[in-house]
A = this chain, B = another copy of it.
Amino acid sequence: MNAPPDRPRRATIFDVAAAANVSRGTVSRVLNGEPYVSEAAREAIEAAIAKVGYVRNMAARNLATQRTRAIGLVIHEPHQVFLEDPNIGAILLGTNERLSEEDYQLVCLIIGSDRDSNRVAEYLRGGFVDGVIVVSARENDPISNAVAQIGLPTVFVGHPSSLTDINFVGIDNRTAAREITQRLLGTGRQQVGMIAAALDRDSGAERLQGFQDALGDRFDPDLVVDFPLYSRSSGVLGMHELLSRAPGIDGVFAGNDAIAAGALDVLKESGRSVPLNVGVVGFDDSDWAMRCTPRLSTVRQPADLLGREAASSLLDLINGVPRAAHGTILATQIMWRGSA
């Protein structure tokens, strides 16, 4: 252990009290905007605060109040997924915005390894935050289970089906996937496949299910390939594979837009026209969608709202506000463009 750096001792509430000639009780009252403080005292204290350069010591405050007004947001990030997933960023921003309105501080915790996982669990348990939001959880994720056991108010964004009786917000991936697949079928496609990804996450598995729902009897497992990552290269590999299995394929549902973009490129390379020969649809309506030629038909999910909603339910949970349901499903929207 190294010696702590010897920064000059910070002013405490006592120093302020002394400088203002009042007691620390009165100072505390001013600090917290409580009533029953005379105008004279308030002014003297405010002057004293400025004079001695006082700032609250949060650790002490947390210890005394048993709350922190901070919310943890756990990002489980195997490899580099989150860098590629456009939703995470929007969820983050939405959450931050909502919490900010209530003067809560959002702190993001990134998990990249098992070691991180333990440390984060420790951090959450340790009383650094009043509640937790978990995004992009995977099935049987150690951290999800740990978080669920901590007893802290928790909201999941996306619903890991391995956990029951949790609070969550999410979209109905299955229905959305079914609907866009149906729409693709509606354009008269005969042989439709899927490039799935991240089947270990709720989003991945549910999208595959929706696809299957849409096809019903016509579902052919040979026309489904799956990859661990939602990435463009998954799309490239997947499309090659599908083409070799079924050269006559005329429709593809990609697990997300990045995958669709990869698939699109491969189709073009192979001399096929999109949407004439093959129709392609994606998921997410990320910036990939508008960048493809032709533009991608896809499902828009309200990622920022997801974040806001997660924050709102967590705040309710923390404040003991009763809620009808403990799960919220937000509506998605099909963006129908040129690729199908």
Residues of A within 8 A of B (CB): 2-5, 7, 55-63, 65-68, 70, 77, 80, 82-84, 86, 89-90, 92-93, 96-97, 100, 103, 105-110, 112-113, 115-116, 119-120, 122-123, 125-128, 151, 153, 232, 261, 287, 291, 318-321
A256 CB → nearest B CB, Å: 14
A177 to chain B, nearest CB (A): 24
Tell me the bound Cα distance from A127 to B106 in angstroms.
Answer: 16
If A105-B119, A232-B291 touch, whether A126 touches B55 (CB-CB below 8 Å) is yes
Question: Which residue of chain B lies nearest to A112 when distances are taken between CB atoms in the complex?
Answer: B96
> A89's contact among B4, B80, B153, B320, by CB below 8 Å, is which?
B80
> Cα distance A112–B119 when bound, in Å?
27
Residues of B within 8 A of A2 (CB): 319-321
Give the residues in chain B near A97, CB-CB below 8 Å. 112-113
Residue picked from A2, A56, A83, A320, most chain B C-beta under 10 Å: A83
Query: What are the residues of chain B within 8 A of A113 when measuring CB–CB?
Result: 97, 100
Question: Which of B3, B105, B127 is close to A123, meaning CB atoms less than 8 Å apart?
Answer: B105
A61 partner residues in chain B, CB cutoff 8 A: 126
Pairwise interchain contact B109-A105, C-beta atoms closer than 8 A: yes
Residues of B within 8 A of A7 (CB): 151
Tell whether A318 pairs with B93 under 8 Å between CB atoms, given A83-B86, A109-B105, A126-B56.
no
Cβ contacts under 8 Å, A70 to chain B: 123, 128
Q: Is the CB of A110 within 8 A of B96?
A: yes
Give the CA-CA distance A96 to B119 in the complex, in Å: 12
Q: Could you tell me if B127 and A58 are in contact, using CB atoms closer than 8 angstroms?
A: yes
Subset of 26 A-B contacts with CB under 8 Å: A2-B319, A2-B321, A5-B318, A7-B151, A55-B125, A55-B126, A57-B63, A57-B127, A58-B123, A58-B128, A59-B68, A61-B126, A63-B63, A70-B123, A77-B93, A83-B89, A83-B90, A83-B93, A96-B112, A100-B113, A100-B119, A103-B119, A105-B109, A108-B109, A232-B291, A261-B291
